[in-house]
Amino acid sequence: MSFRLKILGANSATPAYGRHQTSQLLQVENCYFLIDCGEGCQMQLMRYKERISKIQCIFISHLHGDHFYGLIGLLNTMSMGGRKQSLDLYGPPDLAEVITALLRCSRTVLSFHIHFHALSFREPVKIFENNLLTVTSIPMEHGTLCAGFLFREKPKPYRINKEFLPEDVTVPEILYLKEGKDLYDAEGKLRYRHSALTLPPRKIRSYAYCSDTRYQEKVIPHIQGVDLLYHEATFMQDQSARAASRFHSTTVDAATIAKKAAVGQLIVGHYSSRYKVLEPLLAEAKRIFPNTVLAIEGQDYLLEE
């Protein structure tokens, strides 16, 4: 059962050294979520053979160009491909005005409907829910309205242990067992305990995306214990003053948050174009949080059950 993150763009303000601006694709089972949409996003999707038509929701963290300038082109391509399925778009309130103006000025009529959801930036808010997972927005500190996103699977059912399943158990009763319920006969007498016929539920997986932000510990309770954390690390620690003044984080900032939140793995990205070689950034972060990896475009990061 899939829980897969693909990095489409890992650089910050401008493309550099073959790296593109921020964008990610998250697949949870048959649900596809696009997280930010920097310039060139649709080209990256095509390059890595990801089907644009599968994207159901797009989450835009904030209105700096390196996080959404690829959006209008992607929407137009979806329309030219004949998309009929509606699209849920989450972002700052002004994003709706931007999209409307661009479509109007270019005399573009999309073939599908956009359901726009304006984000709140005062406190964490659950913004999406289906049968598989929830998505919660988390306010960032970036000098402009900016949100991160927490993707967390819902509790999963117990698994039937087919080796011990009696033949007289019906399909409706199997559903009861999956819910953790014991089976009783018509007179209320216990027939089977679910613990004897089931295996524990599979692991609940979670991913937190901390978009552009300076170091802020108030995010820690909201991402505590997540399996996978992406945290921007625009600069190395020798540029900490620059990072703070520009509302960005360093490698040390990102690693410290990961350590204090006791996450499973940290991905650092949103690299400044001053860095051609990324290994020094990785080494600096790993000194604080050893299970750190670089955001590499085209690479999949998988969470096992």
Amino acid at 284: E
Residue 283 CB neighbours (<10 A): 12
Q: Are 249 and 278 in contact (CB under 8 A)?
A: no
Beta strands 87-91 and 206-210 are: unpaired
Q: How far apart, in Å, do the first and last CA atoms of the chain sit? A: 8
Q: How far apart are CA 185 and CA 195, in angstroms?
A: 17
Q: Burial level of 258, CB count in 10 A (0-12/13-18/19+)?
A: buried
Which candidate in 36, 66, 212, 227 is catalytic?
66
Scan for tokens 């409907």, then name that residue. 113
Beta strands 159-160 and 147-153 are: unpaired
Q: Are 210 and 223 in contact (CB under 8 A)?
A: yes
The DSSP code sequence of 166-224 is -TT--HHHHHHHHTT--EE-TTS-EEE-HHHHEEPPPPP-EEEEE-S----GGGHHHHT
Active site residue 66: yes
Scan for tokens 């990102």, then name that residue. 254
Scan for tokens 């690693």, then name that residue. 255
What the block records as the tokens of 283 is 């080494």
Residue 285 CB neighbours (<10 A): 29
Nearest to 57 by CA among 95, 10, 114: 114
The residues carrying an active-site annotation are 66
